[in-house]
Amino acid sequence: MSDTTMRDRASSVMRSTESNVEIFGDMLVRGFHLLALFAIGATIVWAGFHAFLDMAAQGRATIEDILLLFIYLELGAMVGIYFKTNHMPVRFLIYVAITALTRLMIESVNVEHLTSLNIVYISGAILLLALAILILRFGSNRFPSAPASDERSDFADRE
């Protein structure tokens, strides 16, 4: 066998080995990704269920409790969309932040009786987050991104 043939064969074996290693690495990353998403989703369901049980044990639900359930709902929706599309829906994080700030404002008024300036600060933060969502929505409609060809993407062009 000639020297050139041996080098070609060795090169072919190396390319094949690299390809197999990349496939195995991709499978490991995807498996970890799915496992982590499942763990996060299960944690959200678990936390929401316990929050609901606490409300049932008290025999009543305050507006803060209901807003907490909405936060769990948004987090669950975000995990579901990320699971299906491999895209992090940034808008959902902002929705969670708005809901959390609203919950904080209601709690501050009802329990802590904060000064009106603190309420203005929280309201201003909510307004800024709402404007951020408006900008994201405008940008995604005006400048849509093309979904990657190898991904299942029902929501990718909306973010």
Residue 28 lies in domain: 3-158
Instruction: Look at residue 8 in the predicted model and tell me its pLDDT.
Output: 72
Average pLDDT, rounded, for the chain: 84
Whether the per-residue pLDDT at 155 is higher than 60: the answer is no
pTM of the complete model: 0.70
35-80 pLDDT, tens digit each: 998 999 999 999 999 999 999 999 999 899 999 999 999 999 989 8
Q: Which residues contact 106 (CB under 8 A, 6 or more apart)?
A: 63, 64, 67
The total number of structural domains that make up the chain: 1
30-40 pLDDT, tens digit each: 899 889 989 99
Whether the per-residue pLDDT at 156 is higher than 50: the answer is no
Residue 109: CB atoms within 10 Å:
14
Please give the backbone phi and psi of residue 144, each rounded to the nearest 5 degrees, phi first.
-65, 145
